[in-house]
Structure 1
Amino acid sequence: MLKKIVSFLNQDISTLTQNNSQKEDISENSINIHNQALSEAKILASIAKTIDNPNFQQSDFKFYLQIKSLFARNKESYQGLETSAELLRLAVKAQSNFLKIEQTELRYRSTKQQEYYEFVLNFLGEKFGDDDNNNDLENNQIVAKKRQENKYSPEEFKQQIRTKLEEIKPTIKTEQGREALEDYTESLEGLAEEKDIGLKLLYLFKKFNLTDFSVLRVISDMVTYLQDKNMQNMKAMQDLVVKNEDVFIKLGRIIGVPKTKETPDTYARLLQYLALSKKHEQTREQFIKLIQVLKPWQGFYRTITDIREQYSANQYNLPEEFTQEIPGLSIYENYQQYINIF
């Protein structure tokens, strides 16, 4: 009996050895690509781990992410409003720059100063005039459109206005006038830091002759008021909108709210988004840093999984690295649904 068992085991081992010898080897190129991606994923996973924060899991912040997702994915009542929401958010955030620009243009009106203002406006018109807005033939409403080509350069803008400023300054008679133009230029440069959105907003304000930037302060005051309130209460948001309807109507066309959506409900959703963005501003910035790490991690992850799917353990001799857990996977799975909304 014992001899039969030993014989059976020997046959089994022999069969296993034979099966392994029949398996194919994975190409060296595939192994190298896999292992390089695994190495990169490990580095990014380590960075992601240091950025990950318990605040990202808090229910209130998750509610903000949910609202952000609805805008980004054109879901339900949020359809077509993402650009409007971002334009309004930035307008409120940069209100001090807009107000400084408005005050300077109203107060300092010499010929050369107005020449400088006109130079800035012409530059903005050249960069944003072709693709700032489209006439929607269906509802005859101005609808904000995202830029299709990256023909705007913050560096180019800063260089040109600085060159023009140095040309204009010697012709300004008073030190106060020269300092005002310097502050004006710094405010423009501050708007230029926000990709192309800040200066595009300035262009839209001027295009539609809305020179009273104090409306942004009114919106900002509402956002501040809501910080300790229940931001999931849409009725409270709508009540604020109705009380300040003229403010939202003034801004609606500039930020591209479609005519069919010019309702208290739409503006309440925009206001809710602004308030949530303000409340979670610091957490949001930290979360964006995490997303910026997870995006390239996702690329390496897909490379790894694609290669592994090509080579099954039944057919190929798998190197040890092919069976290792992919570092950072748990963090990625926590936030995967939010990667494409920022």
Structure 2
Amino acid sequence: MTNPVNDSSVSGVNSPAKTIPWWNRPVTGDGGLLGELLTKIEKEEVPEATLALRNLQLMDIRVFAKTAEAIDSPKFTDEDFLTFARIKYMLSNGIGDYAELDESIRLLQLAIQAKDSFIAIDQTELRYRGYKQQEFYSFVEHLLKNQENTESFREKVNTKAKEILIQVKTEEGQNAIKAYARHMEKISKHVLGLKLLLLFKTSNLSDYSILRAVADVILGIEMKHIYDVKKLVDVVNGNYDAFEPLKHIIQLPDNRKDVEVYALMIQVISLSHQYETVYVKFEQLMKVLQKWYRNYQVLLQIYQEYPANQYKLPQEFNEPIPGEALYLKYCKCLTDKKTGMVYMDLS
């Protein structure tokens, strides 16, 4: 039987040096201990396929990093804006005091933005009560209840309006129908427009002018008090008659109908108005970083699988990753120092 220790297929070349005890072997030179040790610890090369994958990821990373850096602005790191960004994150992720309020806030915000249209629609329905006008109002409500998509809704409303106009004799009545259709079209352009129209149509709201009262309350809030919820609660308490009738229209959850909830809602709406333009750009930055992050994760995985202490790494492995400094900046800005919670999700 072959001795596995001396079998060249296992131990390599059958050199005389292998039979010499280590204490009798030279440190350097042919058969030296140093040469054998270096052979054993020599680092492996990173596979070509892995290098190609890394280069591919870096190509995308460079593009996304350049775009992100072009969008980035000092306004995004303003402390008040960052507080608003954290609130928006809590809203969209249903966290803390802002849980379950996102859609209700958007409905209230739209109601305030389109208040003139809602008031005009209500006044038209109350003032023009002819048979054909009422037929038109009922037709619109039927469309809303059947959850028509926006494009179909506008098309059917305009077609019906033309049909009704022929049968309305007075110029005043015709103008009222035209204006009614225009307001319907305007509101329906919003994402939640049709839903809010139906909620108003089926509500028992007797005075639509409270929308103006709520808008005035929000406009009157001083920005220096915007993060003081207690002061905002006082504001709501002083105008509760304007807020309370809207609770069903804006679909507040049954467990979230207290005064403090309205205070949080007007806080968000005020801040949204204050930072509307800045936040749109900030969202663009986050979307680009989201794309960047996917490639970044692949790159990190490669670096973890091929550490410098085991592999012979090309020099470029030590170069900074484009966009990483920007990413780490926002990780720091959007991390709560007390709780460690990160108000940013790029996954």
Q: Same fold by TM (over 0.5)?
A: yes
| Correspondence for 2:127 among 96, 99, 107 | 107
Aligned position for 2:252: 257
Distance 1:173 1:253, change over 3 A: same
Aligned position for 1:172: 168
Deviation of residue 221 (structure 1)?
A: 0.6
Aligned position for 2:47: 25
Aligned position for 1:287: 282
Aligned-partner Cα distance in 1 for 2:56–2:89? 33
3-state SS of paired residue (2:248): helix
Aligned-partner Cα distance in 2 for 1:75–1:230? 23
The answer (yes or no) to whether the contact 1:295–1:339 under 8 Å persists in 2 is no
User: Could you report, residue by residue, the CA deviation over 1:212-256 in whole angstroms, capped at 9, with x for unpaired residues?
Assistant: 322221111111101444212222211111111122211112222
Q: Which of 1 and 2 has greater Rg? A: 2
Aligned-partner Cα distance in 2 for 1:278–1:258? 24
Aligned position for 1:193: 189
CA RMSD of aligned residues (A): 3.5
Aligned-partner Cα distance in 1 for 2:181–2:51? 55
Distance 1:42 1:243, change over 3 A: same
Aligned position for 1:243: 238
Whether 1:208 aligns to 2:237 is no
Whether 1:54 aligns to 2:77 is no
Deviation of residue 103 (structure 1)?
A: 2.9
The answer (yes or no) to whether the contact 2:225–2:232 under 8 Å persists in 1 is no
Aligned-partner Cα distance in 2 for 1:324–1:181? 67
Q: Which moved more, 1:329-338 or 1:221-230?
A: 329-338
Unaligned runs of 5+ in 1: 128-151
Distance 1:153 1:326, change over 3 A: farther
Whether 1:270 aligns to 2:265 is yes
Identity level (%):
34
1:32-111 equivalence runs, <5 A: 34-111=54-131
- TM-score normalised by length of structure 2: 0.74
The answer (yes or no) to whether the contact 2:89–2:344 under 8 Å persists in 1 is no
Aligned-partner Cα distance in 2 for 1:167–1:278? 40
| Correspondence for 1:224 among 187, 209, 219 | 219
The answer (yes or no) to whether the contact 1:223–1:278 under 8 Å persists in 2 is no
User: Could you report, residue by residue, the CA deviation over 1:296-329 in whole angstroms, capped at 9, with x for unpaired residues?
Assistant: 3333333443455455456666667765543223
3-state SS of paired residue (2:129): coil
The answer (yes or no) to whether the contact 2:45–2:312 under 8 Å persists in 1 is yes
Deviation of residue 202 (structure 1)?
A: 1.6
Distance 1:339 1:100, change over 3 A: farther
Q: How many matched pairs?
A: 310
Aligned-partner Cα distance in 2 for 1:88–1:182? 26
- TM-score normalised by length of structure 1: 0.75
Aligned-partner Cα distance in 1 for 2:36–2:281? 56
3-state SS of paired residue (1:261): coil
| Correspondence for 1:183 among 156, 179, 185 | 179
Aligned-partner Cα distance in 2 for 1:233–1:57? 21
Aligned-partner Cα distance in 2 for 1:264–1:123? 35
Deviation of residue 6 (structure 1)?
A: 9.7
* Structure holding more helix per residue: 1
Aligned position for 1:130: none
